[in-house]
Structure formats: C-alpha cells, structure tokens
C-alpha cells in the first residue's frame, strides 16, 4: 500500500489548510452565562433579604419589592402578546381558501408543447419529463377518483 498519500506522511505543503476559527463566540457565551447567573443571584437576594441586611451591605437605595413580582409578570405577558401578534400577522397574510393564489402563483410553468397528450408522453419508462406545473383538475382527478367497487 502506498503510504505517500496518507495524512501522516504527506508533506505539509500538500495538507489542506483550515481557516483559523475564532473562539469569540465561546467567550461571549461564557460572559453571557456568567453575567445572567450573577444577576439572577442578585435579583433573588434583593427579593428575599430583609431591608436591614441589604442596608448592612452598603446599599442605600433599591427598587420597591413589588417590582420583584411585576417585572417577571410583565415579561410573561410580553412574550404571550408577541406570540399572539405573530400568529395574528400570519393569519392576516394568509389568503382565503377561495382565492386563486392558494392554487397557483406568478411562477407557474405550463407545458410548451401543444400536443394533446403531453402529460401521457412523459409517463413512459425511459422518458424524462419536462419541468412544468400540473393543472389542478388533473391532480384532483388522480388523487380523488372513485375506485370501482369489486364484487366477489
């Protein structure tokens, strides 16, 4: 076996050079994780410690304790309203079922040939059909045709 092509014996100038990968995302992720952890601990301590303990730490002013309940409650309401808003905008942008744009669009491609059996010509075993859209009537006939009942 020829060992000249293996990666361990190939010269350095033949090895593919990989671009240097930045580790900035890892540092940003760590800073975000650490800062949110510290802020959460400070939030819980502010919400649960008595006033005397906070003042003993040298903090002269801090928000009223009712904000420890109001901020999370308002945040939840904002998230719920965001979901409702996006859902409403999606419904607003959806056409009605009777609208023609639910069936076709401006990029429709009809067959270029004027043959009457253009669809049958592309069903052969060795044929490669052209790329075009099928009429909705033909699709409905194939998908929703009634199969004749066989009697035993």
Percent of the chain scored above 90 by pLDDT?
36
77 and 101 in a common domain: no
Phi-psi region at 58: left, alpha or beta (left = phi > 0; alpha = psi -120 to 50): left
Of residues 26 and 100, which shows the higher confidence score?
Answer: 26
Tokens 């990968």, residue? 21
Whether 86 and 113 share a structural domain: no
138 in any annotated domain: yes
**Domain shared by 32 and 77, yes or no:** no
Position 109 in a domain: yes
Geometric angle at alpha carbon 48, from 43 and 53, rounded to 5°? 100
151 part of a folded domain:
yes
The total number of structural domains that make up the chain: 3
CA distance 30 to 56: 31
Domain containing 75: what range? 66-94
Is residue 50 within 8 Å of 68, Cβ to Cβ?
Answer: no
Query: Using one digit for the tens of pLDDT, what is the confidence trace for 50-91?
Result: 989 999 988 888 888 899 899 999 999 999 999 999 999 999
Last residue within a domain, chosen from 7, 42, 62: 62
Whole-number Å distance between alpha carbons of 140 and 59: 74
- 147 within a domain of the structure (yes/no): yes
**Is residue 12 situated within a structural domain?**
no
pTM as predicted: 0.49
For the chain, what's the residue count?
A: 152
| pLDDT band at 136; cut points 50, 70, 90 | confident
Note whether 104 and 152 are same-domain residues: yes
Residue 29 lies in a domain: yes
- Percent of the chain whose pLDDT exceeds 70: 82
With respect to residue 146, please indicate whether it lies within any of the assigned structural domains: yes
Residue of 51, 77, 75 lying closest to 65 (CA atoms): 51
Whose structure tokens read 């100038």? 13
Residue 3 lies in a domain: no
* Cβ atoms 54, 62 nearer than 8 A: yes
């Amino acid at each position: 076996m020829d060992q000249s092509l293996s990666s361990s014996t190939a010269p350095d100038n033949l090895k593919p050079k990989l671009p240097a990968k930045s580790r900035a995302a890892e540092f940003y992720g760590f800073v975000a994780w650490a800062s949110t952890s510290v802020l959460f601990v400070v939030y819980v301590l502010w919400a649960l410690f008595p006033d005397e303990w906070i003042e003993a730490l040298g903090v002269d002013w801090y928000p009223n304790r009712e904000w420890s309940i109001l901020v999370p409650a308002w945040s939840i309401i904002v998230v719920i309203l965001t979901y409702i808003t996006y859902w409403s905008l999606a419904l607003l942008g959806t056409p009605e079922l009777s609208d023609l744009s639910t069936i076709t669009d401006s990029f429709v491609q009809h067959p270029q040939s004027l043959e009457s059996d253009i669809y049958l010509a592309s069903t052969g075993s060795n044929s490669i059909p052209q790329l075009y859209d099928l009429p909705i009537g033909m699709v409905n006939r194939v998908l929703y045709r009634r199969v004749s009942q066989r009697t035993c």
